[in-house]
Amino acid sequence: MISAAAQSLWAKSDRETGSGAWHPLICHLLDVAACAEAILEREPARTLELYAQDLELPIGRAKAWVCALAGLHDLGKASPAFQQKWPAGQERVRQAGLSWTVDPTPPPKDIPHGAIGEAILPELLRSAGWHRRAARHVAAALGAHHGFRSGRSELDHVVSKERGDGSWDAVRKELFQAVLGVLGTGLAPKVTCYGGAAFERLAGLTSFADWLGSSFDFSPLETDLGAYYQKAKGRAAQKLDSIGWFQRVPLLTAEKSLAEVFRYLDNHFTPRPLQSTLETMLTGVARPTLLLIEAPMGEGKTEGALYAHLKLQLANGHRGCYFALPTQATGNLMFERVKLFLAQFGKARRLDLQLLHGASELVEAYQTIKVHSNIPREDEGVEAQVWFSHRKRGLLSEYGVGTVDQALLSILPSKHQFVRLWGLGNRVVVLDEVHAYDTYTGGLIETLVRWLAALDASVILMSATLPQAKRMALLAAFGAAEPPADDKPYPRITRAIKGEATPTVATFKTREQPTLTIKPLPLELDAIAQAALACTAQGGCAVCIVNTVQRAQALYQQLADNALGIDVDLFHARCPLEARLQREKGVIAKFGKGGARPQRAILVATQVVEQSLDLDFDVMISDLAPIDLLLQRAGRLHRHRRPLQTRHAHREPVLWVAGLSSAGVPEFDTSERIYERYVLLRSYLALHRRSHIRMPEDIDELVQEVYGGAEPSDLNAEWRAALATSLMALQQRDQKAASEAAHAPFGLPEEKGWLDPQDFPKLPDDEPNPDDDPDLLHTRKGSPSATVVLLHKVDGRICLDAAGTVPVSFAAQLELAEAKQLFARSVRLSRYELIRNRCEALDIHRQAHGIPTTAWRKTALLAHAHPLILEAGRAVIAKLVIELDPQLGVVYGSAV
């Protein structure tokens, strides 16, 4: 048994109620060690093998050491700096013989116990036989359990008055040896450097275990620490049951063909060539693998990725799968598909599936499977345990769908990033639409792939097509440093196996697609409107995709009251979230697979329809855009197989391109605020002499021509000057974005410098974090924006609705249901007048209406939102008029 002095140390207390209840420090250390062991026992066997590799120990000894280390995370609480925080506990410690020769710095400027632990643990580990450098790395991983690593300056301030004198050293050594003794660690590992992947694995597991162990009821100290530990393991198992963390086993227990797996979709399901090729490429693969799937839309990439996950999970002992999408809307649709896929396996076991983005509280498909206890739902085994719906815990769930931002937070210096990274390790991670990101986010994705490879995850990248340089960079990030020995033309699947420098490539046949006819149009909206009406006059469904919301609103106004009686809809992102979700559902219901297609209809939309929405149109009119995105849009043309007579006069797909009929060097108006002028000019040159595009034969050729090919040699001086000027601007912006992407992550797995103490950069605490705000997350670059909640002032009252039937309370406490109602009225706005000077104009507006937001700041959904009060449907802020139109959404104007 430990000494009376060691027994007197407290880890947790009931300070709020003053009851005097407390939990001994040694008990908490053993609680967390027990939780770590319980987690590992429910993990796939491969997870423990990875810890054994990190420590260069047999699995049994590695398990003991990892659990002991996790338990030692709070050893810094054995210090005057921490024990002073509770007067009753401080007095008991003094009476037990531990004194304060010098009073430590009082809160809130006291040294965190994590920093104290990081400062004292290396010496204790070295006394147990650890190598000096590895001991420092382990101590840093454990000391970060409250979210961030300690900086060099913090560690330098861990002086004797904070950590205590020799008597404190003795009691800490006693606790250290007690934990090692209970766990039976044996001799120390001989590893000399605890590398990046090992560091993140230990830090992530430690925080996860600490979250669980900190929720235990206070227990009295027992004389037999071994007996206490066994009881703690029982409590840990009960806690894991209660949050829905069950045994992590592969969905398949034996090999199954792709056709068998997807029979739930169709009893006569026949794999497409892409899927069959993927199945062949996965035969015999027994190591973490990267699959880069480049194929046109509608070839079955999603089902292929789901099947690849099954095969890789079975072969490698991966934990589960996370699907990362570019937007919330695409995430919502993928969630439905993954939920349906998992349902066939959920009949035999319980599966947790989380939707990870800021608006998930408003997604009905997610909310209907949420559970708050370990009682299984009766209708199916796919559920969403509420414990994992907390942002920092979401990636711990076995299965998840969400935005790419949530995955990228794992490599940025955000709070508890290592928990997120631990959740993605030894897992299958699917990144869809990888062509959709700019230089900055694309650079972060490359770093993420490097970390996933280091953490023994498998990665599936899906794209319509990629520039060659980007393709090779992603392969190199996974470790495939050599070009493919026998590269294949597009469409293709590239496979890189961890530990092999040369990737393998296979091609396949795509479904027969009619040749796409290209027709030029002027950029003016009048021309687009006339073409849309002419195309649908005799029947058919057309989509007009323009590059800005303002153009979409103006075009809709021209088309809405057409004399032909053609049905016209508008779909863009600048409307309240609730309305956007409803519009999205309406668009899918009309133009999606199996939708109730009108005889004649026009959809006016922005880029929201170009990614992952399974829509089908008879004819398309699009603003000129970068060639890869334009081809992505074209994938919504004749996407579904339907009888030709239902397409009316549109038996062949036609893509009208607005801005392609310019004489001389074109100007692209507001599109240049969205896309690089150089890429638009190169896309123009690639298309303006074409009358047809063969699908898919020409896709890769066009993309490589725009992004890597030589400029045409027959250009006049005006064109050469325009290209030179725009290329210089692009290169400057790309260089800056690439540099920022390279410096944004906390480090790279193979680098050693970041493992040693330094003053690390820290992003603001991402919690609460309402809506994947790139300004807060640092995962994307682009125009800064603000989340505003549109409210109405009616007869002097602030209400949710323009009719004034639902008044808004600004009480000090806000219920979740109220927060969801308010968040449903939110919209992201990026006008400079609103976001300049940290949204100063919005703050002045709020104060002018006397609205307190104390409760909002405490609520995750609304923490960074600004109320915007509309009177008679409009508000004026810094000479900017903001109106909410039922059809147009948010409309901007200028005050006189």
At residue 248 the predicted structure's pLDDT band, cuts being 50, 70 and 90, is very high
Whether pLDDT at 179 is above 50: yes
Q: What is the CATH number of the domain that holds 211?
A: 1.10.3210.30
- For 29, the token pair is 């250390």
Task: Tell me the residue range of the domain where 869 lies.
Answer: 783-894
pTM summary value: 0.93
- DSSP label at residue 870: E
Q: What is the pLDDT of residue 726?
A: 96
Mean pLDDT of 745-774: 70
Rounded distance between C-alpha atoms, residue 860 and residue 391, angstroms = 9
Domain final position from 675, 709, 743 = 709
Could you read off the pLDDT of 365-375 as tens digits, one per residue?
999 999 876 56
How many helices and strands (H and E) does the chain possess? 34, 26
State percent of the chain over pLDDT 70.
97
* Confidence at residue 422, expressed as pLDDT on a 0 to 100 scale: 98
Comparing 253-262, 620-629, 634-643, 735-744, which segment has the lowest mean pLDDT? 634-643
Residues 142 and 22 in one domain: yes
Q: Whole-angstrom Cα distance, residue 541 to residue 551?
A: 20
Instruction: Kindly state the average pLDDT of the residues 733-757.
Output: 90
In a domain, 767, yes or no: no
* Confidence bin at 106 (pLDDT 50/70/90): confident
Q: How does residue 362 score in pLDDT terms, banded at 50, 70 and 90?
A: confident
Taking alpha carbons only, the member of 850, 743, 718, 753 closest to residue 797 is 850
Q: Which of 507, 539, 562 is where one domain is finished?
A: 507
Tokens of 208: 């996860």
Q: Indicate if the pLDDT at residue 407 is higher than 90.
A: yes
What the block records as the tokens of 16 is 């709020």
DSSP letter, residue 519:
E
Q: On the CB side of 46, how many CA atoms lie within 13 Å of its CA?
A: 21
Amino acid at 527: A
The answer on 610 and 534 residing in a single domain is yes
Most confident option among 204-218, 352-366, 744-758, 769-783 = 204-218
Confidence of residue 708 (pLDDT cuts 50, 70, 90): confident
- Between residues 18 and 507, the one the model is more confident about: 507
Distance between CA atoms of residues 658 and 531, nearest Å: 10
Mean pLDDT, rounded, for 747-766: 77
Q: At residue 352, does pLDDT exceed 80?
A: yes
pLDDT at 379 over 70: no
Same-domain status, 468 and 541: no
Q: Is residue 750 part of a domain?
A: no
Q: CB neighbours (10 Å) of residue 198?
A: 24
Residues in contact with 397: Cβ distance below 8 Å, sequence separation at least 6, in sequence order: 320, 352, 353, 354, 384, 385, 388, 423
Q: 887 near 560, Cβ under 8 Å?
A: yes
CATH of the domain at 527: 3.40.50.300
Whole-number pLDDT of residue 330: 86
Question: Is position 738 within any domain?
Answer: no
436 pLDDT more than 90: no
State the pLDDT at residue 768: 43
Q: Yes or no: say if 662 and 523 are a contact pair by the CB < 8 Å rule.
A: yes
Predicted confidence at residue 305, as pLDDT, reads 97
pLDDT band at 742 (very low <50, low <70, confident <90, very high): very high
Q: Are residues 491 and 616 both part of a single domain?
A: no
State yes or no: pLDDT of 843 exceeds 60.
yes
Q: Dig out the tokens for 154 from the structure.
A: 């913090």
Q: Of 691, 709, 727, which residue is a domain's last? A: 709
In a domain, 787, yes or no: yes
Mean pLDDT of the chain: 92
Do 437 and 569 fall into the same domain?
Answer: no
Residue 209 lies in a domain: yes
Please indicate, yes or no, whether residues 495 and 521 belong to a single structural domain of this protein. no
In-domain check, residue 830: yes
Residues 287 and 386 in one domain: yes
Whole-angstrom Cα distance, residue 893 to residue 879? 9
- Cα 309 from Cα 322, distance rounded (Å): 10
Of 219-228, 521-530, 552-561, the range with the lowest mean pLDDT is 219-228
The CA distance from 395 to 422, in Å, is 8
Regarding whether 365 and 337 lie in a shared domain, the answer is yes
User: What is the per-residue pLDDT for 374?
Assistant: 59
What Cα–Cα distance (Å) separates residue 386 from each residue in 397, 438, 808, 840, 878?
11, 34, 27, 36, 42
Whether the predicted pLDDT of 136 surpasses 90: yes
What local confidence, expressed as pLDDT, does residue 373 receive? Answer: 61
Q: Decide if 723 is inside a domain.
A: no
Scanning 830-882, the segments in alpha helix (DSSP H) are 832-848, 854-857
Q: How many structural domains are present in the chain?
A: 4
Q: Which of 536-550, 693-707, 803-817 has the lowest mean pLDDT?
A: 803-817
The answer on 461 and 393 residing in a single domain is yes
Is 739's pLDDT higher than 80? Answer: yes
Rounded average pLDDT over 636-641: 86
In a domain, 769, yes or no: no
Q: How confident is the model at residue 769 (pLDDT cuts 50, 70, 90)?
A: very low
The answer to whether residue 43 scores a pLDDT higher than 60 is yes
- The tokens describing 578, both together, are 């609730």
The alpha-helical segments, DSSP class H, found in 478-536 are 525-536
Contact between 168 and 228 under an 8 Å Cβ cutoff? The reply is no
Q: Are residues 198 and 272 in the same domain?
A: no
- Give the max Cα distance, the chain: 94
The residue written with tokens 């275990």 in the block is 209
Reported as a single tens digit per residue, the pLDDT across 250-306 is 999 899 999 999 998 888 899 999 999 999 999 999 999 999 999 987 799 999 999
| pLDDT more than 90, % of the chain | 74
* Cβ atoms of 785 and 829 closer than 8 Å: yes
For residue 87, count CB atoms less than 10 angstroms from its CB and return exposed for 0-12, middle for 13-18, buried for 19 or more: exposed
Residues 387 and 500 in one domain: yes
Dist CA 475 CA 262 (whole Å): 29
At residue 199, does pLDDT exceed 50? yes
Could you read off the pLDDT of 543-595 as tens digits, one per residue?
999 999 999 999 999 999 998 999 999 999 999 999 998 998 999 999 998 88
Predicted confidence at residue 761, as pLDDT, reads: 75
Each residue's pLDDT tens digit, 846-892: 999 988 888 888 887 888 899 999 999 999 998 899 999 999 999 99
Q: What is the pLDDT of residue 376?
A: 55
Task: Tell whether the model's pLDDT for residue 767 goes beyond 60.
Answer: no
Shared-domain flag, residues 498 and 562: no
